[in-house]
């Protein structure tokens, strides 16, 4: 009678004992991450990650604390800069033109000619080229009712209030109002002088709270 063949434990899973499985797992885990000589292959990767982290930290530190690599930061004999040195001065005409094109141009047109019988012109206008105290009041407090320019009557809807006063639709700063007035007083052939933020502030201080100006109100101003 022939002897039955022995089962190969590597093929017959039922022949593998728990101890054999545990032993195989321990051998497998112990061999991971090592080469044939038994050297740890994960160590260089760990060192690489550590060095990368140090390089990232060093770059961040230098970028934040070295004054953008300017040698002037370390000049102990340099005079301290005043707060105004870093602020770039803006040309009031450039600022005024931008403000005019964003809002005022809708009514007064890019040419400054306005619309006949509706929106008064700014080009060659006696109001624009005349008393700066009057034109400041128009922009700060707005304008209501009929107004006459070069003998022609204009009766558009009330001009909005632009100044930093109660009821203002725009709340423009004194600097911005001065800039737009300086622009229109030198554009389209106008020859009037510039208006400053101090001029605008002085008018607001003098007038205080006031409703929209009328032509009769403005004619009382010299």
pLDDT-derived band of residue 169, with 50, 70 and 90 as boundaries?
confident
Q: Is the pLDDT of residue 156 over 90?
A: no
pLDDT tens by residue, 177-222: 999 999 999 999 999 999 999 999 999 999 999 999 999 999 999 8
Model confidence at 24, in pLDDT bands (50, 70, 90)?
low
| Residue-level pLDDT at 222 | 85
Supply the pLDDT for residue 56. 84
- 23 has pLDDT over 80: no
Cβ neighbours, 10 Å, residue 5: 6
Query: Residue 108's closest CA among 178, 180, 47?
Result: 180
Average pLDDT, integer, range 27-46: 60
Q: Report yes or no: 161 and 142 within 8 Å, Cβ to Cβ.
A: yes
Tell me the pLDDT tens digit for each residue of 58-106.
877 766 665 555 555 445 555 666 655 555 678 999 999 999 999 999 9
Residue 122: pLDDT band by 50, 70, 90 thresholds? very high
What letter does residue 159 receive in the DSSP assignment?
A: B
Domain definitions of the chain by residue range: 21-74, 92-219
Phi, psi of 159 (to 5 degrees): -70, 135
Burial 180-202 (b: 16+ CB within 10 A, else e): bbbbbbbbbebebebbbeebbbe
pLDDT score of 21: 62
CATH class name, domain 92-219:
mainly alpha
């Amino acid at each position: 009678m022939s002897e039955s063949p022995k089962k190969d434990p590597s093929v017959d899973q039922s022949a593998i004992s728990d101890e054999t499985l545990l032993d195989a797992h321990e051998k497998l885990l112990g061999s991971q991450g090592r080469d044939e000589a038994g050297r740890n292959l994960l160590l260089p990767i760990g060192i690489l990650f550590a060095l990368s982290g140090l390089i990232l930290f060093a770059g961040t530190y230098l970028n934040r604390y070295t004054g953008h690599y300017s040698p002037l930061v370390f000049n102990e004999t340099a005079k301290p800069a005043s707060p105004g040195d870093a602020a770039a001065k803006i040309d009031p005409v450039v600022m005024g033109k931008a403000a005019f094109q964003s809002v005022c141009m809708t009514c007064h047109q890019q040419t400054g000619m306005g619309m006949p019988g509706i929106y008064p012109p700014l080009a060659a206008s006696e109001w624009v080229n005349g008393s700066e105290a009057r034109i400041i009041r128009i922009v700060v407090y707005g304008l209501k009712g009929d107004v006459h320019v070069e003998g022609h009557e204009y009766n558009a809807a009330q001009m909005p209030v632009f100044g930093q006063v109660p009821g203002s639709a725009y709340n423009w700063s004194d600097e911005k109002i001065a800039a737009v007035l300086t622009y229109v007083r030198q554009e389209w052939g106008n020859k009037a002088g510039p208006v400053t933020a101090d001029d605008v502030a002085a008018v607001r201080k003098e007038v205080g709270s006031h409703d929209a100006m009328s032509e009769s109100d403005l004619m009382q101003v010299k």
